[in-house]
Structure 1
Amino acid sequence: MVILPDAPWRHRPGLAPLTHALGAGRARWVGGAVRDTLLGLDVSDIDLATVHPPEEVIRLCSAAGIKTVPTGIAHGTVTAVTSGTVVEVTTLRRDVATDGRHAIVERTDDWREDAARRDFTMNALYADPATGEVFDWFGGLDDLAARRVRFIGDPYTRIAEDHLRILRFFRFHARFGDAIDDAGLAACVARANDLMALSRERIAAELLKLLVAPAAVPVVALMQAHGIFRPVLPEIDADGVARLAALAAREMDAAIAPDPIRRLAALLPPSTAEDVGARLKLSNADRRRLIAATAGAGDEGARALAYRAGPDIAHDRLLIAGADVAPIRDWTPPRLPLSGGALVARGLAKGPQVAAALKRIETRWIAEGFPEAARVETIADEEVAGPA
């Protein structure tokens, strides 16, 4: 018998009253919380599987004074909020029909049947809240020990149920994997065209998570070499993978956390960023950042770039271009210590010439390395006086 190790998340306020309300043996921890605890990783999301239907979960929680929100009740999921701790509670299910994008499910009281509908063996581990006993029907514990991401049962069947599992296979391998599972890889390669049936939002969400996984670079290289991206992101080529690898090395050298939009920008030829951002239906902010990140470092210097584009965009562009980011580390771009009113007071007439003069002064100020106000005053005097 394998016992789930103790972990800080298991002592979060409200968990004991929740599992007590659902009843001994009637609910089990499942999925990422169990997997990550066994790997010694921090746990963020907590999920419970239960034999109770959603209506009974709501009734039992209400009787115990626990708030519930019917976040996914059509699929059997209720969110319990207990003493500030949030837990997704989902009724045991089995698939009735799938089309690669959505599944029709119905209740079951069979724990193994619920586990069988999950994607990978390491995600189909359950644990009893009271005893900590771990339940494993498909070899997930052995796969976890081997750092092997393996589909439950036939990989082709799992992919046919949900095409997104192709990308999830690679994302989980980038996060947890060691040696690739050959059967899983072969199925993903054979069914890569199935990705075209997915919404671009789902593809984007999975890709952005993959790009910041610990082994993102070798896994993306593997995907590109096997044509996984070709059906939905043909812009990603070997050159893009090389740019991503170089960027990741620079991020590590500079002790800068990986960022998914920055890494996506490195993967893409600059001319394609706008089209890809629209196709993936990224937020407006992420689209703008993706496009800006591919624009190059320029030739004014790191601080000038940070002043004009903002520190975040400057970091993106400098890192992707292979330029030094040290000058803008912990540096906040200053504001030009001069106003249009100061130029009017020097004799300039209000109107376009004030704006033009301010622009010239700002350009000189940037070129001189953002000197203090006294120097700016001198520059302003020179600009107003005109050529000697």
Structure 2
Amino acid sequence: MSAFGRDWTEARGLAPLIAALGPGNARYVGGAVRDTLLALPVKDIDIATVLPPREVMRRCKAAGIKTIPTGIDHGTVTALVDGRGIEITTLRRDVATDGRRATIAFSDDWREDAARRDFTINALYADPDSGTISDYFGGQADLAARCVRFIGDPAERIREDHLRILRYFRFQARFGSLPADAASEQACADLAATLKGLSRERIAMEMMNLLALPDPAPTIARMAALGVLAVILPEADPAPLAALVAAEAREGAAPDPLRRLASLLPCDRAAAEQVAARLRLSGAQKKRLALAAGRGEAQRDPRALAYRIGIEAARDRLLLSGLSTAPLAGWQPPVLPLKGGEIVARGVKAGPEVARILHAVEQRWVDEGFPGAARVNELLGAELGNAG
């Protein structure tokens, strides 16, 4: 084997799988090849093969390798190697597409399979034995130039799968440089309206993947300038995102896609909840977006804020407001050392008055920076005196 991919192929025990598929029948493809050439960590490994899926399963079974027919109708079988899933997909060509799904036919032509992929940098194949790279559309040159470019006619590629518009911007944010490929950008702008036909879940997934990258702000701004962002997120203002990215870096906060989505939205709880519902976000995500929308309120003591709305939500608001999160480092909200029963024991009849007194003491306790039980007892005595 050549130096290409030796570390990750040997570490993941792929040799028996490649041997089972047979000489010349399989090549690594896509992200694993691209990331290896860029000296980046390899996460998912995909294999392309000339063998039909049932033959893949037969050969793997004979070699003692378990397989799962995860997408057998579309040519994909997942082989379990050392506890990891490796997708093996038969070479394909598109028979018909509608912008959301494709009808495919199996093929034995590597170039034909490459031609149906999205970007040149994703259409790279590596022979597992020799390490030879098969590059049919200039993907290696585009990698070197940091150019994200559709294979063939960009508009045709997008009409095959409308989600490729958002994938283009995600790959541009991760691998591209400026100026971007003009033809690719123009096609995304011209066909932006086709995104309306996609499921909200698919849009949310791509947007979250984009926003999770180290610095998506320039790309999000470009999406806005091209009219793409307004189609999927008409409420969005891209300007605050750059400030948030800078604040995260300054405070040592990891990139957080949901917090970054919040930065794009107005300081309006109802608007945040509407976006969450439209993107089919979870209940927890919806609540977090809604809390982040309150960043327009005066952010006084960070710990008081965290006690009231939670550590995560407080950190979101502080970062979105450009404020320091240092007061929250290693801090956990304390528990008020006072129970309703103690108030009843002091002669207050159980009921709404107990709740009112408890709340009043708690508010003063928070305002004073969470003092100990002795001070809480003093605060209770003062409140009972006022009540009397």
* Cα contact 1:4–1:127 (8 A) shared by 2: no
Q: Deviations over 1:331-361 (max 9, x none)?
A: 1111112222222333332222222222111
Shift of 1:4: 6.0
Cα root mean square deviation, aligned: 1.7
Shift of 1:59: 1.5
Moved more, 186-195 or 7-16: 7-16
* Cα contact 2:29–2:48 (8 A) shared by 1: yes
Equivalent position of 2:274 in the other structure? 275
Residue identity in the other structure for 1:177: G
Equivalent position of 2:314 in the other structure? 314
Q: Deviations over 1:208-261 (max 9, x none)?
A: 11112234111111111111122232222xxx2221111111111111011111
Equivalent position of 2:207 in the other structure? 207
Q: Is residue 124 from structure 1 mapped to residue 115 from structure 2 by the alignment?
A: no
* Cα contact 2:248–2:254 (8 A) shared by 1: yes
**Pairing of 1:90-239 with structure 2 (within 5 A):** 90-179=89-178, 180-236=180-236
Q: How many residues align?
A: 384
Of all paired residues, the percent bearing the same amino acid is 57
**Pairing of 1:82-97 with structure 2 (within 5 A):** 82-97=81-96
SS of residue in 1 equivalent to 2:27: strand
Shift of 1:300: 4.0
Residue identity in the other structure for 2:308: R
* Cα contact 2:60–2:66 (8 A) shared by 1: yes
Q: Deviations over 1:122-146 (max 9, x none)?
A: 0001111222211111100000011
Shift of 1:8: 3.9
Shift of 1:385: 3.8
Residue identity in the other structure for 2:256: D
* Cα contact 1:158–1:165 (8 A) shared by 2: yes
* Cα contact 2:69–2:77 (8 A) shared by 1: yes
Could you tell me which runs of 5 or more consecutive residues in structure 1 were left unpaired when the two chains were aligned.
none
Equivalent position of 1:65 in the other structure? 64
Q: Deviations over 1:166-192 (max 9, x none)?
A: 111111000000131111111111111
Shift of 1:330: 1.9
The CA distance in 1 between the partners of 2:91 and 2:185, in whole Å, is 29
The CA distance in 1 between the partners of 2:213 and 2:88, in whole Å, is 27
Structure 1: 4+ residue segments shifted above 6 A: none
Q: Is residue 248 from structure 1 mapped to residue 245 from structure 2 by the alignment?
A: yes
* Cα contact 2:215–2:245 (8 A) shared by 1: no
SS of residue in 1 equivalent to 2:146: coil
Equivalent position of 1:81 in the other structure? 80
Shift of 1:204: 1.1
* Cα contact 2:20–2:60 (8 A) shared by 1: yes
**Pairing of 1:363-374 with structure 2 (within 5 A):** 363-374=363-374
The CA distance in 1 between the partners of 2:373 and 2:132, in whole Å, is 68
Residue identity in the other structure for 2:210: L
Shift of 1:299: 4.1
SS of residue in 2 equivalent to 1:169: helix
Q: Is residue 35 from structure 1 mapped to residue 34 from structure 2 by the alignment?
A: yes
* Cα contact 1:4–1:38 (8 A) shared by 2: no
Moved more, 182-191 or 344-353: 344-353
* Cα contact 1:100–1:160 (8 A) shared by 2: yes
TM-score when scaled to structure 2? Answer: 0.94
Equivalent position of 1:259 in the other structure? 256
The CA distance in 1 between the partners of 2:133 and 2:38, in whole Å, is 14
1:173/1:235 CA distance change after superposition, 3 Å: same
Residue identity in the other structure for 1:36: D
Moved more, 145-154 or 6-15: 6-15
* Cα contact 1:217–1:245 (8 A) shared by 2: yes
* Cα contact 2:214–2:255 (8 A) shared by 1: no
Residue identity in the other structure for 2:113: D
The CA distance in 2 between the partners of 1:347 and 1:67, in whole Å, is 71
TM-score when scaled to structure 1? Answer: 0.94
SS of residue in 1 equivalent to 2:317: helix
The CA distance in 2 between the partners of 1:334 and 1:18, in whole Å, is 54
The CA distance in 2 between the partners of 1:13 and 1:245, in whole Å, is 38
SS of residue in 1 equivalent to 2:281: coil
Residue identity in the other structure for 2:88: V
Moved more, 218-227 or 333-342: 333-342
Equivalent position of 1:302 in the other structure? 302
* Cα contact 2:27–2:127 (8 A) shared by 1: yes
Residue identity in the other structure for 2:18: T
